[in-house]
Amino acid sequence: MNDFILDNGLSIPAIGFGTWQIPDGKPVFDAVTTALADGYRHIDTAAAYRNEAGVGRAISENALERKDVFLTTKLWNTDRGYDAAFKAFERSLELLQTDYLDLYLVHWPANSKQFENWKSINAETWKAVEELYRQGRVKAIGVCNFMVKHLDALKETAEIFPMVNQIEYQPGHTKDDVVAWCTKEKTLVEAWSPIGSGRLLDNALLKEIAAKYNVSVAQLCIKFCLQRGVLPLPKSATPAYIKSNFDIDGFTIDTADMDQLDTLKNEGWSGLDPDKVDF
Ligand SMILES: NC(=O)c1ccc[n+]([C@@H]2O[C@H](COP(=O)([O-])OP(=O)(O)OC[C@H]3O[C@@H](n4cnc5c(N)ncnc54)[C@H](OP(=O)(O)O)[C@@H]3O)[C@@H](O)[C@H]2O)c1
């Protein structure tokens, strides 16, 4: 599986290991250590996951060199704004035991439900992220959960455009308007909850199509993202699943089955609309 290439030329390994809801300490240390042993070279965490310390320890105690692991973390909503963003970045680096990040993402847009001045809050936060990039503290920068409305607004003031937009994306929930926008602007789309946080695992259609290719439902969902040009971030704390989720080179989903997967309208969706959330 080939890396994706970001708009600034940076190579990003095609499957990232998700770490949301894996507790800090031994659980996340063991999960990340297992993922690295199985060949993952891209780890996705966030300040809000409160497991950056364990992720950092797993990477630094591993035999791999830091440069061989692509590390992403995210700026939480309470750290929006120019000055707060710098402080949040330093705190994350310290916990992660590193002096640079591969990718720094704004976790959620300030939205119009909560803030009248949502546009300027996002613009100020982004200014700090741009500055961190200019200073060479982070190799690539981006956002998460930015819908077309938030992207359009950010474009009015951004000097460097987000290289990544990490959104909820899985079979049947593909936010086609956002993906089209990002494709046009050369912003790579990453898929969070590619397996619908587990909600798609028992789906009858997915089980039927997965059986046809002799793969698991999780492998089918991960491959679906890749075939759509979207970078999947599967999470598991189970060693056998961590391994099999990375082993997806041996099959290709045919066009008819890709279309069938689109018929699962919103069955795996979390229900979170970035413009309506209260956090
Ligand atoms: N930017 C954002 O706002 C945002 C939001 C949510 C998530 N994310 C990122 O996206 C990552 C993935 O999303 P996610 O954690 O919601 O869910 P996910 O990867 O869609 O699904 C994870 C769930 O599926 C199970 N699972 C994984 N592989 C399996 C397999 N092969 N067979 C059976 N069950 C399997 C896991 O169980 P076990 O763990 O018990 O094995 C877990 O319950 C997160 O970890 C995080 O890094 C980002």
**Using one digit for the tens of pLDDT, what is the confidence trace for 219-252?**
999 999 999 999 999 999 999 999 999 999 999 9
Residue 1 confidence (pLDDT):
86
Average pLDDT, the chain: 98
Query: Is 49 one of the catalytic residues?
Result: yes
Residue 88 confidence (pLDDT):
98
Tokens of 20: 């949301």
Per-residue pLDDT band for 177 (boundaries 50, 70, 90) equals: very high
Which one of 236, 264, 270 would you pick to mutate in the ligand 1 pocket, going by the greatest count of ligand atoms within 8 A of its CB? 236
Cβ neighbours around 67 below 10 Å, total:
8
Kindly report the backbone phi and psi dihedral angles of residue 114, in degrees, each rounded to the nearest multiple of 5, phi listed first.
-95, -30
The sign of the torsion formed by the CA atoms of 150, 175, 182, 135 equals positive
199-206 average pLDDT score? 98
Task: Output the pTM of the full model.
Answer: 0.99
Residue 4 confidence (pLDDT):
98
Nearest CA to ligand 1 atom 25: 198
| Domain parsing of the chain, residue ranges | 4-261
| CA dist list (Å): 149 to 113, 115, 160, 203 | 13, 14, 18, 32
> Which one from 49, 104, 133, 169 is the annotated catalytic residue?
49
Atom in ligand 1 nearest the alpha carbon of residue 19: 45
185-213 average pLDDT score? 98
Q: Are residues 79 and 89 in contact, defined by beta-carbon separation less than 8 angstroms?
A: no
Distance from residue 163's CA to the centre of ligand 1 (Å) = 23
User: What's the rounded Cα separation, in Å, for the pair 276 and 272?
Assistant: 8
37-53 average pLDDT score? 98
Atom in ligand 1 nearest the alpha carbon of residue 144: 1
User: What's the rounded Cα separation, in Å, for the pair 47 and 49?
Assistant: 5
Atom in ligand 1 nearest the alpha carbon of residue 236: 39
pLDDT at 17 over 90: yes
Tokens of 262: 């689109």
DSSP helix/strand/coil, 79? helix
Which one of 195, 199, 203 would you pick to mutate in the ligand 1 pocket, going by the greatest count of ligand atoms within 8 A of its CB? 195
Cβ neighbours around 108 below 10 Å, total:
22
* Residue list, ligand 1 pocket, CB within 6 Å: 18-20, 44, 107, 144-145, 166, 192-198, 201, 216, 218, 233-238, 241, 244-245
Distance from residue 204's CA to the centre of ligand 1 (Å) = 19
User: What's the rounded Cα separation, in Å, for the pair 36 and 173?
Assistant: 29
Atom in ligand 1 nearest the alpha carbon of residue 16: 47
State the residue for tokens 């997806």. Answer: 248
Residue 163 confidence (pLDDT):
98
Per-residue pLDDT band for 181 (boundaries 50, 70, 90) equals: very high
Nearest CA to ligand 1 atom 22: 197
pLDDT at 197 over 90: yes
pLDDT digits (tens, 9 = 90+) for 64-95: 999 999 999 999 999 999 999 999 999 999 99
Residue 19 confidence (pLDDT):
99
Residue 93 confidence (pLDDT):
98
Domain range 4-261, its CATH number among 3.40.50.300, 4.10.80.400, 3.30.70.580, 3.20.20.100: 3.20.20.100
